Amino acid sequence: MDDNTFDLVVIGSGPAGQKGAIAAAKMGKRVAVVDRNDMIGGVCLHAGTIPSKTLRLAVLYLTGFQQKSFYGQAYAPRSHVTADDLMFRVRTVIDREQATVTDQLQRNDVTLVNGWARFVDAHTVQTDGGRQVRGDHILIACGTRSARNPEIPYDGRKIMLAEDFGRGDREKIPRSVIVVGAGVIGLEYASMLSALGVRVTLIESRDPMLDFMDKEIIEALRYHKRRRDAIFRLGEHVVGVRV
């Protein structure tokens, strides 16, 4: 085989792509993974689970939120938490995890091909850099992206998706935020922001919210959010956005 011919070509380096590539390599197959160098690890690492959970733990630690029930509501390890404090932790964790994923792939002799992939034919993909790689089999593991409302002018700064908030380039913590959607992800970010002292308004078209959970749990959640001045607008829809 030449340098651009493989038994398996994997498009995407997220959890599914990693596992598929390494499993094939351990069986003696020649494997390539196609993804951008700055996105090794996939959406999960760069915009999804890892950034949000890192941000959550940073908020809990820096605000002393979990210790307030013992030391009192005035307790805080830091008098002022900045966006830099939070994003430094997010960037550090992402960099370390990306290095780990890269090392795991390379230790299993998986070839990393930089770039976006598109199909040329059933067995060939080409990157945006012009390199073509051929595989007897091609595994599509390119992940997902958030649904977008075409009526909302997203700019990633004032109007953003949840994944934008955890990307690690926030300049400052906002004074107030409107969260559209009181599902699991919306409530996760609303809770983090509320713990930072941000005024949060949640808009949710369903009433009750989180209808798959026990009513008592939801009532307790709403009670604690309201104690931190969160506003719930349930059974309402967004019809326009103005900044």
Write out the residue limits of the CATH 3.50.50.60 domain(s) in the chain: 5-140, 174-234
Give pLDDT, residue 64: 84
Give pLDDT, residue 7: 98
- What distance in Å separates the CA atoms of residue 14 and residue 71, rounded to the nearest whole number? 41
Which class is domain 174-234?
alpha beta
Q: Which amino acid is at 231?
A: I
Predicted TM-score (pTM) of this structure: 0.84
Question: Which runs of consecutive H residues, i.e. helices, occur in the chain?
Answer: 15-26, 42-46, 49-63, 68-71, 83-107, 162-165, 184-195, 215-227
Contacts of 65 (CB under 8 A, 6+ apart): 59, 195
Q: What is the mean pLDDT of the chain?
A: 90
- What distance in Å separates the CA atoms of residue 54 and residue 72, rounded to the nearest whole number? 25
Among 15-24, 100-109, 136-145, the range scoring the smallest mean pLDDT is 136-145
Q: Which amino acid is at 1?
A: M
Q: What is the pLDDT of residues 151-182, one digit of tens each?
A: 788 888 889 888 887 665 667 888 999 999 99
Among 32-36, 42-46, 179-183, 239-243, the range scoring the smallest mean pLDDT is 239-243
Give pLDDT, residue 170: 66
* pLDDT above 90 for 36: yes
Q: What is the pLDDT of residues 71-114, one digit of tens each?
A: 676 666 666 888 899 999 999 999 999 999 999 999 999 999 99
Give pLDDT, residue 168: 56
Give pLDDT, residue 24: 98
Residue recorded with tokens 């994003």? 87
CATH number assigned to the domain with residue range 5-140, chosen from the 4 options 1.10.10.10, 3.30.565.10, 3.50.50.60, 1.10.3720.10: 3.50.50.60
* pLDDT above 80 for 117: yes
Contact 55, 86 (CB under 8 A): yes
Contact 109, 32 (CB under 8 A): no
